[in-house]
């Protein structure tokens, strides 16, 4: 009886190792029907760029209106609102320079709110405003 258990476990171990290797070989050798478009080789016509520019400018204006509403509701202060609006303008300028092609930007992890120096809003989210009582509680 023990021999059968040992044989069954050995067969399962061999299968657990062999099956993923076989699947990996099949996935690597198959070519996709359509290769995803890569932004490095793609060019847009002037009319397409103009159309995208119009859409992105509308988006930027809406984002600025949202920032104004946050300011009006007291969620953020004037300094953060100005910083956020400047960031929106910078992103619009960056998109125009890059030709309005899609991409992931310059590698801002965690939405730009990480602990890296010189990135984002100094490691804090611009939408949350800490009161003095909250900051003293966290520092104690």
Tell me whether residue 88 is in a domain. Answer: yes
Q: Tell me which range, 17-21, 34-38, 68-72, 96-100, is most confidently predicted by mean pLDDT.
A: 68-72
Domains identified in the chain, total number: 1
pLDDT at 125: 63
Q: What are phi and psi of 50, to 5 degrees?
A: -65, -40
Radius of gyration from C-alpha coordinates of the chain = 26
Q: Is residue 116 part of a domain?
A: no
Instruction: Let me know if residue 81 belongs to a domain.
Output: yes
pLDDT tens column, 104-130: 655 555 555 555 555 555 556 666 665
Sign of CA dihedral 59, 64, 65, 69: positive
56: in domain: no
* Range(s) of the domain holding residue 82: 68-99
In-domain check, residue 91:
yes
Q: What angle do CA 50, 51, 55 make, to 5 degrees?
A: 115
Question: In this predicted model, what pLDDT tens digit does every residue of 22-77 receive, in sequence order?
Answer: 777 665 555 544 444 444 567 888 999 999 999 999 999 999 999 999 999 999 99
**Which residues, 6 or more positions from 48, have their beta carbon under 8 angstroms from its beta carbon?**
100
Q: Let me know if residue 86 belongs to a domain.
A: yes
């Amino acid at each position: 009886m023990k021999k059968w258990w040992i044989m069954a476990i050995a067969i399962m171990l061999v299968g657990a190792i062999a099956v993923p290797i076989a699947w990996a070989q099949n996935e690597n050798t198959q070519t996709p029907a359509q290769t995803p478009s890569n932004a490095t080789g793609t060019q847009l016509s002037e009319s397409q760029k103009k159309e995208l520019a119009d859409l992105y400018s509308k988006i930027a204006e809406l984002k600025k209106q949202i920032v104004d509403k946050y300011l009006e509701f007291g969620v953020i202060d004037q300094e953060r609102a100005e910083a956020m609006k400047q960031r929106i303008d910078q992103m619009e300028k960056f998109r125009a320079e890059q030709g309005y092609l899609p991409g992931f930007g310059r590698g801002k992890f965690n939405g730009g709110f990480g602990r890296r120096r010189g990135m984002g809003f100094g490691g804090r989210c611009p939408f949350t405003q800490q009161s003095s009582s909250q900051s003293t509680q966290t520092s104690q």
